[in-house]
Structure 1
Amino acid sequence: MNNTGDSFDDSIFEASCSCKSCVMGFMDDDWFIYRYDPSIPPLLNRKNWLQPSMFRVNYTKVVDQMFSLFPDKEHYSDAGPDRCRTCAVVGNSANLLGSHYGSLIDFHDVVISTYTRVKSSIKADENKVMVLHPAFIKYVYEKWLLKHGRYPSTGFITIIFALHICDKVKLFAFSV
């Protein structure tokens, strides 16, 4: 039990990586420990699907239909001491224009960009579509934003998502 009253299984914090510095390196920081909970599933899949609601819905049919459209696998759950997954999270600040950071950003294992023009129909590679778990968005709002504001921005959710799936995270084009 830590000093915030929350209890965690200490073994979830022991996973290290082979990077020079890892996200888990912040586990000696009380501020970070209070907010970071690796047991929260960031992505929705058949194993961690929401509980059936009180509405009269054929639960199995909904789950089958949902995961016939999107991949049903656990993404990014392969943490370990031999892995060093790096993420670049790219915001939409104009500060990035002309910066020549393109090759540095592309060097990362995962590049997440928070901006796309909204179209009436979005064409995407269905094998690459991932659905954020609603519990993850709630966790970001409650633990990271401490319930301030109406909802977390997509940029902020993306940063916390990157902390959960990567060992090392770098931010580009975010302004304060």
Structure 2
Amino acid sequence: MSYSRVRRRLPVVTFIALIFLLSLFTLMYKLYSPILVSNANMKSTARLKDSFTAATLLSSNCTRMPVWTKGEYKFFDDRYSNISTIWSSKHKEMTPEALQWWLRIQQSKDTFSTSDLRNLVGKLLEIIPDVMPYATNVSNRCLQCAVVGNSGNLRDSRYGQLIDSHDYIMRMNTAKTVGFEKDVGSRTTHHFMYPESFVEVIGETKFVLIPFKPLDVSWLISALTTGTIVRTYMPVRKQINVSKKMIEVYNPAFMYYVHKTWNELHGRYPSTGMLVLLFAMHICDQVNVFGFGATSKGNWDHYYQPPVEPSLEKDSAFKLTGVHNAEFETDIVKQLEEIGKITVYRGSRV
């Protein structure tokens, strides 16, 4: 081939080579940039306090490995097990150890046996759906969940739109949204309560009962039927107006797993916040946490109540009673945040 012909073809070859390199660079960028961005922003994201839009969250879809992914951190791998979060006929058994612990946490009768447990669950599942509605460890899915506590650090946080952009929004106890939408959002998909903290749920919100004792399950059965139970250790609702198909019961065996494996037996039993956080980590792919955090004296204040002057605040009742170990739970949450399993939004208190 003559020199002149080579010279004429050189621009064409150069152009083809440039197209190939540009395509290769684009492919590599798509594969690796989400991982790099996620790792670089993981710690700074947790400390953001400013107002957010829904696009802020949705733009980060699937940029983190699913929360249930194992093989990265020993701290997580040693603790995480695929245990059913919800009671069903397939997941109703409890070990003798777990059953005895469950009976002790609120001083239930020691005469309650495994046979009694099966009968109780059987009666329950004649009334509410006997299903396990959550698929776990699903590849190619990005189910985003917001766990929303009731801490006073949500005041003036402007997290409402961000919280509402999640697939599942989990609230607990006497959480309120009306009048606080700018800070806490308006949507709720799951509301976790026990008999003594029950408030009405509306629309397509699931009521998830956390049973701290067998009587709590009996109360639910009664509240949906005869209305004969009106008191536990305090007066409770005689009947509730909740669609039966929208009711789930937290698995006490899962509760014991949280207490033993994650809380390492600290406190008498886990706080509601800890129970809901671990619930989310076992059914969701990405978990963001809002409204967790005590005051400087360790009290769990509420965004929907007037703040207490620091000079008038008393020491935390939980430190005195030992029911929950808030300091240990806070440390667990911090470690989960540091290894990128969750993101914590701290609101008005950093």
What TM-score range do you get, normalising by the shorter chain? Answer: 0.7 to 0.9
Letter in structure 1 aligned against 2:91 = N
Alignment map for 1:24-173 (pairs within 5 Å): 24-25=68-69, 27-38=71-82, 40-50=83-93, 54=113, 59=118, 62-116=120-174, 117-118=197-198, 120-121=236-237, 122-173=240-291
Letter in structure 2 aligned against 1:169 = V
TM-score after normalising by structure 1: 0.78
Point out the structure with the larger helix share: 2
Stretches of structure 2 lacking an aligned partner (at least 5 in a row): 1-60, 95-111, 175-196, 200-235, 295-350
Shift of 1:126: 2.1
How many Å separate the matches in 2 of 1:158 and 1:47? 22
Shift of 1:98: 2.5
Shift of 1:63: 4.2
Shift of 1:101: 1.1
More off after superposition, 118-127 vs 68-77: 118-127
Total equivalences in the alignment: 157
Higher relative contact order (CA 8 A, sep 6+): 1
Letter in structure 2 aligned against 1:28 = E
Shift of 1:171: 0.3
TM-score after normalising by structure 2: 0.41
The CA deviation string for residues 92-144 of structure 1, in whole angstroms up to 9 with x for no partner, is 10111222211111111111112225463243332221111111011001100
Q: CA, structure 1 residues 69+97, in 2 after alignment: closer, same or farther (shift >3 Å)?
A: farther
Secondary structure of the corresponding residue to residue 155 of structure 1: helix
8 A Cα contact 1:86 1:168, kept in partner: yes
Secondary structure of the corresponding residue to residue 158 of structure 1: helix
Stretches of structure 1 lacking an aligned partner (at least 5 in a row): 1-17
Q: CA, structure 1 residues 91+45, in 2 after alignment: closer, same or farther (shift >3 Å)?
A: same
The CA deviation string for residues 25-66 of structure 1, in whole angstroms up to 9 with x for no partner, is 45310001111111x111111111226x7576595x644421
